[in-house]
């Protein structure tokens, strides 16, 4: 990256030179790391929409052109040719693995899928109405109790790698057990002869006694969904993982925080909100046009969930791939579901409507992922848990990069807008 470019800031009769950093995809950024010390000025950018928090070599996305690449590989190619654990290896270690490296990685993960039996005591403490995301965030944080060496993020690379492997191996188990707690059903232990995605589905729903494997259509669709959710540069939850990790909190604590951030309906909770919106539409008679009108009515708080994106201006490249996967899964499984029929009708109307087209409100990844999860029999309040399962390698890669580049502790500034200095007054005189 070239850093010889400079910008000039003229303020209050003075001129300041600001270095410009240029990334490998020709993104230009004003480096303001010395701005306050040289000028007394800071910048403000609510939601950091125009502010880069770091330099990163993990994921590149271009919102205008609908490009998303993991370590330089397009998600289109990875979704078609790779699998989730190979993509996880790529994101975390930076290169596609050799066959030996992938076999070792998969074998390591397979041998760590079990969790300590005491986790069940923690799980039993959660009421059945507990949202699986809250349970999952707590269970991930509890891993520090069973693996206290993970508390120190500055241990040897081998020990850090062991912490990473354990988390990738155990998250599906913890996620499935969070679901079983929700259903007040007995937990299912991992069957390590199954692959990663199938093992998760087995722990969720059990392996059909007459079958030796999970339906390959379902397992393949889920593996593709996990790939497409694996990372998304500095989204809310990844930024959370990095800032928590910047205090030298453990990987497990940082990922637990990332799960909490993803839980929000404006982030990972959007896929759950999409299906809840469609179910409300169905229960109120399925009049799509009524909801389209409400979405356009400035006096109506109703908004279409699963449409548009903060970063992608014209289309979400993940949605394009997932839409086809959704059609394939519904066709291959022969699923007839009025909610899914409603989703297709809503998609058709919105894609033709100039009001939504001019506002970049097209179906995004959350619109279609909820449709597939529902078709796979995954309950609505587990949808965001599925997002977390997919996003885990991205979070780990972001945390690892932040540690390896010895990023300083994150500590944003502010502009104070409160009261000026005033004296304490006696309570009887207020």
* Distance from C-alpha of 402 to C-alpha of 405, rounded to nearest angstrom: 5
Q: Single out the residue of 173, 235, 240, 256 in contact with ligand MLT (rule: CB under 6 A).
A: 235
By CB under 6 A, tell whether 303 contacts ligand MLT: no
366 is catalytic: yes
By CB under 6 A, tell whether 67 contacts ligand MLT: no
Is the CB of 131 or the CB of 232 nearer to ligand MLT?
Answer: 232
Q: Residue 94: left if φ>0, alpha if ψ -120 to 50, beta else—which one? A: left
Phi, psi of 263 (to 5 degrees): -60, -30
By CB under 6 A, tell whether 232 contacts ligand MLT: yes
What is the smallest separation between the CB atom of 387 and ligand MLT, expressed in angstroms? Answer: 8
Number of residues binding to ligand MLT, judged by CB under 6 A: 5
- The token pair at 184 is 């007040």
Is the CB of 303 or the CB of 310 nearer to ligand MLT?
Answer: 310
The residues pairing with 8 across neighbouring beta strands, listed in sequence order, are 17
- The token pair at 408 is 């300083």
Q: Which residues contact 351 (CB under 8 A, 6 or more apart)?
A: 357, 362, 363
What is the smallest separation between the CB atom of 306 and ligand MLT, expressed in angstroms? Answer: 11
Query: Which of 202, 232, 309, 381 is the catalytic position?
Result: 309
Give CA separation, 28 vs 68, 210, 388, 420, in Å: 18, 58, 31, 38
What is the smallest separation between the CB atom of 255 and ligand MLT, expressed in angstroms? Answer: 15
The residue among 224, 234, 167 whose CA lies nearest residue 392 is 167
Is the CB of 199 or the CB of 223 nearer to ligand MLT?
Answer: 223
232 is catalytic: no
Q: Single out the residue of 217, 311, 333, 339 in contact with ligand MLT (rule: CB under 6 A).
A: 311
Is the CB of 68 or the CB of 106 nearer to ligand MLT?
Answer: 68
Give CA separation, 356 vs 272, 308, 367, 371, in Å: 22, 9, 15, 21
Is the CB of 68 or the CB of 123 nearer to ligand MLT?
Answer: 68
* Beta-carbon-side half-sphere exposure of residue 289 (alpha carbons within 13 Å): 0
Q: Single out the residue of 290, 310, 357, 359 in contact with ligand MLT (rule: CB under 6 A).
A: 310
Tell me if residue 22 falls in helix, strand or coil: strand
What is the smallest separation between the CB atom of 406 and ligand MLT, expressed in angstroms? Answer: 25
Q: For the chain, how far is it from start to end, CA to CA, in angstroms?
A: 60
Tell me if residue 11 falls in helix, strand or coil: strand
What is the smallest separation between the CB atom of 256 and ligand MLT, expressed in angstroms? Answer: 17
Chain residues that interact with ligand MLT, rule: CB under 6 A: 232, 235, 267, 310-311
Active site residues: 309, 366
């Amino acid at each position: 990256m070239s850093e010889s470019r400079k910008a000039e800031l003229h303020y209050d009769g003075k001129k300041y030179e600001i270095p410009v950093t240029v990334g490998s995809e020709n993104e230009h950024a004003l480096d303001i790391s010395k701005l306050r010390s040289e000028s007394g000025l800071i910048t403000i950018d609510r939601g950091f929409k125009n502010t880069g928090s770091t330099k990163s070599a993990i994921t590149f996305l271009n919102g205008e052109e609908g490009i998303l690449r993991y370590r330089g590989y397009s998600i289109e190619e990875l979704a078609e040719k790779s699998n989730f654990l190979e993509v996880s290896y790529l994101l975390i270690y930076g290169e596609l693995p050799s066959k030996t490296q992938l076999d070792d990685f998969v074998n390591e993960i397979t041998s760590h899928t079990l969790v300590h039996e005491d986790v069940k005591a923690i799980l039993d403490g959660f009421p059945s109405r507990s949202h699986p995301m809250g349970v999952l965030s707590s269970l991930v944080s509890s891993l520090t109790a069973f693996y206290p060496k993970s508390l120190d993020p500055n241990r040897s690379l081998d020990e850090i790698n062991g912490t990473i492997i354990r988390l990738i191996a155990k998250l599906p188990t913890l996620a499935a057990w969070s679901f079983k707690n929700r259903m007040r059903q007995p937990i299912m232990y991992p069957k390590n002869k199954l692959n990663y995605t199938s093992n998760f589905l087995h722990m969720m729903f059990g392996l059909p006694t007459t079958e030796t494997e999970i339906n390959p259509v379902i397992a393949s669709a889920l593996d593709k969904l996990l790939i497409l959710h694996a990372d998304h540069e500095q989204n809310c939850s990844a930024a959370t993982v990095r800032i928590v990790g910047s205090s030298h909190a453990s990987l497990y604590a940082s990922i637990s925080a990332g799960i909490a951030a993803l839980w929000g309906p404006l982030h990972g909770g959007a896929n759950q909100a999409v299906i809840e919106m469609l179910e409300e539409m169905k229960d109120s008679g399925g009049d799509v046009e009524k909801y389209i009108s409400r979405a356009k009515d400035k006096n109506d708080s109703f908004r279409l969930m699963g449409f548009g994106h903060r970063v992608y201006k014209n289309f979400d490249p993940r949605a394009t791939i997932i839409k086809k996967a959704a059609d394939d899964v519904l066709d291959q499984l022969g699923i007839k579901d009025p909610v899914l029929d409603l989703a297709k009708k809503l998609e058709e109307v919105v894609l033709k409507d100039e009001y939504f087209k001019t506002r970049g409100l097209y179906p995004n990844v959350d619109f279609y992922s909820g449709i597939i999860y529902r078709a796979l029999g995954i309950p609505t309040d587990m949808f965001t848990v599925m997002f977390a399962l997919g996003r885990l390698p991205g979070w780990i890669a972001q945390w690892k990069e932040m540690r390896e580049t010895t990023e300083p502790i994150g500590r944003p500034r502010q502009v104070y807008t409160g009261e000026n200095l005033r004296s304490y007054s006696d309570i009887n005189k207020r």
